[in-house]
Copies of this chain bind each other. A is one copy, B any other.
Amino acid sequence: MDLKFSDREEAFRQEVKAFLDEAWPAEKRGSKTEFTRDNYLDWHRKLHARGWIAPAWPEEYGGTGWTPTQRYIFDKECAAADAFPILPFNISMVGPVIYTFGSDEQKERFLPPTLSGDIWWCQGYSEPGAGSDLASLRTRAVRDGDDYIVNGSKTWTTLAQYADWIFCLVRTDPNAGKKQQGISFLLIDMKSPGITVRPIITLGGDHEVNEVFFENVRVPADNLVGQENQGWTYAKFLLTHERSNIAGVHQSWRALDRLKQIAADKDLYGDAPSLMEDADFVRRIAETEIDLTALEFTELRALAREESGGGMGPESSLLKIRGTEIQQRISHMFLDAAGTYGLPFQRELGHKEAPPSNSQVGPDFAVETAARYFNMRKTTIYGGTNEIQRNIIAKMILGL
């Protein structure tokens, strides 16, 4: 047992750091780069140019051939530099489905733009009213000559407003016995006539998710991935495929660092004692650091098992549960640090549901704290609620 990084791993870390200093320099760090379509794509393309956009892919399709430990180091350094986390839709979701189950023609057509960012994918899984019961989907795709005609709707579609294409689960055989049967995996151009996108505004005013409606949308049958009615297999593959950084450990460490800086920033407190002189706040930080350390080493142990071929499996539920619990705790500490200045709504959101925002008050860091705390509630809901993750542990690991 040896928990030190090897010389080779240490050299790799230096390589990553050097890349980040150039591609994501200091002036972009510290939440100074707003998340927009262009800013995100700029970063995506820099990683792509360096050949690092899809570390976990097989090398023949554009992967890096890194060990899980290298990926861990890469993720950690990127988080320490405040770089945008890579969105899962292209790299962890549709890409692996296409290179695993797609036709050669599909691989050739879709993989390069998926890697380069020329296609921005979004995910068409959830449907209104279905919640975590994904397989109960009702969006229909009916074969009509060389096309499918798609009718229905998808929801919680993250960043659909930016997307070029959507990968969808659709029902192609409504008469199949079990609800998991008769589902197909379809790639759909978002510019197809009959598609409309309705923004869903979340607490604090963010527009991150959408509902996507399909009304007689014509989709070439060439866009079917794999076999008709076998979509559930690919969907399950996708759900269990990429677990790297599922716990968000690196982002949480980085957030704690920022929180400690804020809590010690004398300018914010003047003659009053700073938050770092408040024993209760210090205790909360220390507890979180200790819990985060336990989580980090649990993830490292899981990565090591993966590296030695053991696979991750249902243990990933542990990482998801604990990771999201800690992210939520940290977002609450930020809110507490903002104090009264957590209350004002002063974000420029540019959509009609947002209440009027007229003035800028309080310290910069405080502006987003409440909205972020609200937004982080999603982490224990999306991707299978934490209740469902506990069901999985009980069933799959403990055999209950």
- Give the B-binding residues of A (Cβ under 8 A): 279-280, 283
Report the Cα distance A283→B284, complex, angstroms.
13
Q: Could you tell me the distance in whole angstroms from the C-beta of A132 to the nearest C-beta in chain B?
A: 19
Q: How far does the Cβ of A141 sit from chain B's closest Cβ, in whole Å? A: 38
**What CA separation (Å) do A161 and B196 show in the bound complex?**
77
A52 to chain B, nearest CB (A): 45
Q: Chain A contact residues: over half helix, strand or loop, or mixed?
A: helix
CB distance from A285 to the nearest CB of B (A): 14
A280 proximity list for chain B (CB < 8 A)? 279, 283
- Distance between A394 CB and nearest chain B CB, rounded to angstroms: 15
Q: Number of copies of this chain in the oligomer? A: 2
Q: Contacts of A279 on B, CB cut-off 8 Å? A: 279-280
Residue numbers in B under 8 Å from A283 (CB-CB): 280
Instruction: Please list 3 pairs of residues, one from A and one from B, whose beta carbons are closer than 8 Å in the complex, sorted by A's number.
Output: A279-B279, A279-B280, A280-B283
A25 to B23, CA, bound (A): 80
Minimum CB–CB distance from A287 to chain B (whole Å) comes to 11
The smallest C-beta distance from A316 to any residue of chain B, in angstroms, reads: 28
Closest to A279 in B: B279
Q: How far is the CA of A279 from the CA of B283 in the complex (A)?
A: 10
**Taking CB as reference atom, which chain B residue is nearest A280?**
B283
Closest to A282 in B: B279
* Chain B nearest CB, measured from A96 CB (Å): 41
Measured in the bound complex, the distance between the Cα atoms of B279 and A280 in whole Å is 8
Q: 3 tightest CB-CB pairs across the interface, nearest first?
A: A279-B279, A280-B283, A279-B280
Measured CA separation A108–B151 after assembly (Å): 80
Minimum C-beta distance from A224 to chain B (A): 43
CA gap between A312 and B35 in the complex, in Å: 56
Instruction: Kindly state the separation between the CA atoms of A263 and B30 in the bound complex, as whole angstroms.
Output: 45
Alpha-carbon gap, A280 to B283, bound state (A): 9
Whole-angstrom CA separation of A280 from B280 in the bound complex: 8
Question: Chain B: which residue is nearest A283 at the CB level?
Answer: B280
A330→B279 CA distance, assembly (Å): 22
Bound Cα distance from A279 to B278, whole angstroms: 11
Tell me how far the C-beta of A275 lies from the nearest C-beta in chain B, rounded to whole angstroms: 15
Q: How far is the CB of A278 from chain B (nearest CB, A)?
A: 10
Nearest CB in chain B: distance from A280 CB, A: 7
Interchain nearest-CB distance for A307 vs B (Å): 40
| Chain B nearest CB, measured from A91 CB (Å) | 42
Expressed in whole angstroms, the minimum distance between the Cβ of A390 and any Cβ of chain B is: 16
